């Protein structure tokens, strides 16, 4: 069984006053390897402060995106090595909001992931279908196409995480059924095992899509669900820690 990863994505939320949430999480989580790994992906403006706050604790800090190049004339962008220098150990790549609002393609996501790995970061590579693709029965084909393109060039030895986030369940309050989640996660596991062998079985697969304290126990117990990529519920320490506590019980 893979060690669970409970990851929060603050998105475009968070000011210095919100570092209290980081402090609260640091104070509550355990450092033992039998406990789930915890991660908060904060805005770039808070990376240095959040990393300093979490220093010495079991909490990891991550970025929310990175450019595929390490430096250059890309005004407003942030490179993977900048994130690493600021204290990040993970970075999200290809979140549906980046794919939708910033036109990030599978090719771009693959380049971001490669840049992250080269900089010592672990990329969390996101895939997921639209409502229309779900309705038309294309979910597994879409997921496989995104995986094929977004993992292009990655070696079996590369450390990465996959996050399945159905677009119709992000910030909507809708949650995929256990059967829907299991079908996709099992398919992703099969793809990874076929592509990377034993390393594909070791890669963690997260569920992201309105995961909250109320549904965490059911979702985190599903086959091949190795944790969650949590949006709104990660902004409040109490909610995030409730999910973490649930994951602790499942790790047993």
Annotation says 95 is catalytic = yes
Catalytic residue, candidates 95, 104, 133, 185: 95
Paired with 90 in beta bridges are 62, 122
Catalytic residue, candidates 67, 133, 165, 185: 165
Phi, psi of 105, deg, nearest 5: -90, 170
Annotation says 187 is catalytic = no
Contacts of the segment 26-30: beta carbons below 8 A, 24+ positions apart: 26/53, 26/54, 26/57, 26/58, 26/59, 28/237, 28/241, 28/244, 29/57, 29/58, 29/59, 29/241, 29/244, 30/58, 30/248
| Strand ranges (E), the chain | 5-9, 37-41, 59-63, 90-93, 122-127, 161-164, 204-207, 227-230
Q: Which residues are the active-site residues?
A: 95, 165
């Amino acid at each position: 069984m893979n060690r669970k990863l409970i990851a929060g994505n603050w998105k475009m939320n968070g000011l210095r006053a919100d570092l209290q949430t980081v402090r609260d999480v640091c104070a509550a989580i355990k450092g033992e390897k039998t406990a789930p790994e915890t991660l908060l992906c904060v805005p770039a403006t808070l990376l240095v402060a959040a990393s300093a706050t979490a220093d010495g604790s079991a909490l990891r800090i991550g970025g929310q995106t990175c450019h595929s190049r390490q430096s250059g004339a890309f005004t407003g962008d942030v490179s993977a090595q900048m994130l690493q220098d600021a204290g990040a150990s993970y970075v999200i790549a290809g979140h549906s909001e980046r794919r939708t609002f910033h036109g990030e393609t599978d090719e771009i996501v693959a380049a971001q992931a490669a840049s992250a790995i080269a900089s010592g970061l672990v990329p969390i590579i996101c895939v997921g279908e639209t409502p229309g693709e779900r309705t038309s029965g294309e979910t597994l084909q879409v997921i496989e196409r995104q995986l094929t393109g977004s993992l292009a060039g990655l070696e079996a030895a590369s450390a990465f995480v996959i996050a399945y986030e159905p677009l119709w369940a992000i910030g909507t309050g809708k949650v995929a059924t256990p059967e829907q989640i299991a079908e996709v996660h099992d398919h992703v596991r099969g793809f990874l095992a076929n592509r990377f062998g034993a390393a594909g079985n070791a890669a963690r697969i997260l569920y992201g899509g309105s995961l909250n304290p109320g549904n965490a126990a059911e979702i985190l117990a599903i086959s091949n669900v190795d944790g969650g990529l949590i949006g709104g519920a990660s902004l409040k320490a109490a909610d995030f820690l409730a999910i973490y506590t649930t994951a602790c019980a499942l790790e047993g």
